[in-house]
Structure 1
Amino acid sequence: MSWTTPSDVVALLRKRWDAGAYLGRPWEPVAVPLRGPRPGELADRFGEAQDWVRRWEQVDLVRLERVRTGGRVIGTNEIPRRVWIDTFEGLCALLRVGPAARRFEHLLELTGRRFPALTGWVTAHPMKTLEAADDWERLLAVVRWIETCPPGLYLRQVDVPGVDTKFVERHRGILTELLELRVDPVDGVPRTDFAGRFRFRRKPDYVRFRMLDGSRIGGFGELTVRAEEFLAPPARRIFVLENEVTYLALPETPGAAAILGGGYGVGVLERMDWPAEVELVYWGDIDTHGFAILDRFRRRFPHVRSVLMDQDTLLAHRVHWMTEPKPTRQPLGALTAEESALYRDLISDVYGPAVRLEQERVRFSAVRRALGP
């Protein structure tokens, strides 16, 4: 039977409730049209139609609006064509959401007392507010603390009872929306960078490097330093690699140093100027992301030269091929003609599905030949 049932109406109202249609705004009676028996169906299915009407008459908490219908065969009848929920209390009882409604009113009142300027957000986002109900008081306290704290602290220094950095991270989305109503975020910083947007200090980037010519810096052949403190190492040639063990195993090379890139960690070097003054050699995996990193690096430093990222190296190590989990297909405009050809072959699966050769699988004799003087 295609006629509207009470469960159909409850399901519709529940969907609207879950979308936040009835909280945080002045109440207006709710009307829901009903799909009932047409005149022709009354004659053919009169008993079923009577049962349908009785079912609706037994539903509490709604008011039925009826319409006259019928014909010469069965006479004129009144059947429900619309149900009305006249009160908010009736809606809550029908949907069994009274506790949630009362909790929302409490949160709205609490916000009004502590942060009147945020009540508009609460009424506009009732379901988000309810989802965070258990943490709402602490969220307001965090907003207050950040609003008044000096810039340049770490998130770890947020000092609110019951709040730690994991709490802030877990609620980063809602905190961002609330804080934007209270403080001016840093221009140009994306919402995904919570710390930077609200003037907290980011965890520093580090650069790890080692000298390949046997020289020492302050007595050390290998150092890890903060990126902002990293000055050009005393070398005329810099190798940038992605794999740690390969980086550690590089042979001695006069006048050279090696930097561990660590995937897209070349972004740290992009912020520096001195790499433009030295010979830069990049070696990454032969896969689509390896070429994407090379492309990005070369856009910043056009003189970057790649090694062991060519077709000959790939074909010479067929036994070591693996499958790249999530290849990229982005256009790369800074590759050489040879690099571009190999990149196109990889994204076109010329050698097989998502072929990948990791740099640690390249024979070390090939490494010595490629990275030697």
Structure 2
Amino acid sequence: MTMLTVAEARAKARTRLNKSMSTWATQPGPVVLEIALHPPTEKQVLDDQRAAMEWAASWRTIAAPAPASALAPDTDTAMPKISDNPVIDWTERSWARVGRQQVPLRLRLGTPETVANFVGGEEARQWRRLRDRTATIRSRFCDKRPATSAKVEYVAASVDPLASAIKAHAKRILGLGPAEFTTLLDVVEWLRDHPVGTLRPRQLPIRGVDSKWFETHRSLVTALLEATGRSEAVDVLDAEPRIRMRILDPELIPSGLSDITAPVTQLSQLAIAPRLVFVFENLESVLAMPDWDDAVAVHGSGYAVDNVARLAWTHRARVIYWGDLDSHGFAILSRLRKHLPHVDSTLMDEATLIDHRDLWVQEPKPHTGVFPELTGTESRALARLRAEGDVRLEQERIPWATALAALTAKATSAGESAPMTGEQG
């Protein structure tokens, strides 16, 4: 096996540092990262004695052999120990043709700081930044959580919510500039300590914080507030989800409005009772729908499709879903069906996929999950697109005439009405 160079060992340590940085920052303790150095055999030394000597010398600059007094009884290697400096286990080889030689056997890095010092460069700077910011967050919030019940205190003894929040958002914390990090702490502290009432992000009395700042950092603020025991403090700052919908039947239109974008709770309170609700992942499909008796079309907005189920009148209507023919389209359908089990789908079958093979594209990040809410037909379509190499057929690529015919057939199959005129909406 090839002798491991210092550069190669650094690369291994760098990989470990990047992978474990958030864990080491939130769970202080020894690391004891051991890297085997693969010293040469006698034959390798004889083949290239100069290379072997230079290799050993390069490791001697990292950590020279320990004096004899540091060797363990009955062994030729240094005692393993946790150290703030790199430790190399050296061993003595007695070769017939080369003689006695001290060779490095393995490298031990006993603490995160030791790993960072050995790695150096930007990774070491990132580690120290995350270490210091973790300490700052802890000093600011760790001992100021509100009183909890005995049950909660018992759970908290084994689970550190602040550590979990920092670990989950380590990249975001690292990516903040110094001023942004200070502002983050100020926002979390202010929200934790003050009743927010009906304040909007624009009204927070913290310099530099507005709705755009809050939109960018909302998830991190929320995670830290949850860790401090004040998860409810950010609720009022969450803008209520909005849904866009078109009322396709002129008889259902309130006050002459047919194309509406409004908060979910307001749309849910509309005095309408459509018999048919189309839910489309693609907004253009919603806008293209013609007039249709007793029907509305709702934009599902991808994984925000849960909000459709919050519209009270959808639970009393027949719901037809049409999404992209890809893994995420089926994931979204499955998600909606958890809330509205009676949802039917259209144009999400194997035949539609095959009929439009020339319109396929590659799905960049396919969903690999399992969706028990799918029907047999839908599951077979999902299996087929995966078998074809994770392809996708985007909803908007299907010719509109084909789509409208399929929607009409699906609606009329259960006795619902067809489009009034076939004209575009």
TM over 0.5: yes
Counterpart AA for 1:138 = T
Counterpart AA for 1:38 = T
Counterpart AA for 2:2 = S
SS in 1 for 2:265: helix
Change (3 A) 1:158 1:319: same
C-alpha distance in 2 between matches for 1:157 and 1:48: 68
C-alpha distance in 2 between matches for 1:84 and 1:295: 49
C-alpha distance in 2 between matches for 1:365 and 1:101: 59
SS in 2 for 1:37: coil
Residue in structure 1 matched with residue 241 of structure 2 by the alignment: 204
Counterpart AA for 1:240 = F
SS in 2 for 1:240: strand
SS in 1 for 2:100: strand
Asked whether the equivalents of residues 195 and 201 of structure 1 are also in contact (C-alpha less than 8 Å), the reply is: yes
Residue in structure 2 matched with residue 69 of structure 1 by the alignment: 93
Q: What is the percent sequence identity of the aligned residues?
A: 20
> Which structure has the larger Rg?
1
C-alpha distance in 2 between matches for 1:364 and 1:34: 67
Shifted more, 126-135 versus 84-93: the winner is 84-93
Q: Which runs of structure 2 are paired with 1:356-371 in the superposition (5 Å)? A: 358=398, 360-362=400-402, 371=418
SS in 1 for 2:92: strand
C-alpha distance in 2 between matches for 1:133 and 1:15: 24
Asked whether the equivalents of residues 36 and 80 of structure 1 are also in contact (C-alpha less than 8 Å), the reply is: yes
Structure 1 position 183 matched with structure 2 position 229:
yes
Structure 2 unmatched ranges of 5 or more: 67-89, 145-159, 413-417, 421-425
TM-score normalised over the length of structure 2: 0.56
C-alpha distance in 2 between matches for 1:79 and 1:310: 65
Paired residues in the alignment total 348
Structure 1 position 37 matched with structure 2 position 75:
no
Which protein has the bigger helix share? 2
Q: Which runs of structure 2 are paired with 1:1-373 in the superposition (5 Å)? A: 2-18=2-18, 19-20=20-21, 25=28, 34-39=37-42, 41-42=44-45, 45-57=48-60, 59=61, 62-65=63-66, 66-81=90-105, 94-96=118-120, 107=133, 110-111=136-137, 114-115=140-141, 117=143, 121=163, 130-132=174-176, 134=178, 135-150=180-195, 153-171=199-217, 174-185=220-231, 200-206=237-243, 208-210=245-247, 212-213=249-250, 217-218=254-255, 220=257, 223-230=260-267, 231=269, 233=271, 237-240=275-278, 242=280, 250-251=290-291, 253=293, 256-262=294-300, 267-277=306-316, 280=318, 282=320, 284=322, 287=325, 322-323=359-360, 326=363, 344=380, 348=384, 358=398, 360-362=400-402, 371=418
Change (3 A) 1:127 1:246: closer
C-alpha distance in 2 between matches for 1:180 and 1:86: 33
Change (3 A) 1:133 1:64: farther
Give the Å deviation of 1:140: 1.6
Residue in structure 2 matched with residue 189 of structure 1 by the alignment: none
Structure 1 unmatched ranges of 5 or more: 187-193
C-alpha distance in 2 between matches for 1:304 and 1:33: 58
Change (3 A) 1:67 1:155: same
TM-score normalised over the length of structure 1: 0.62
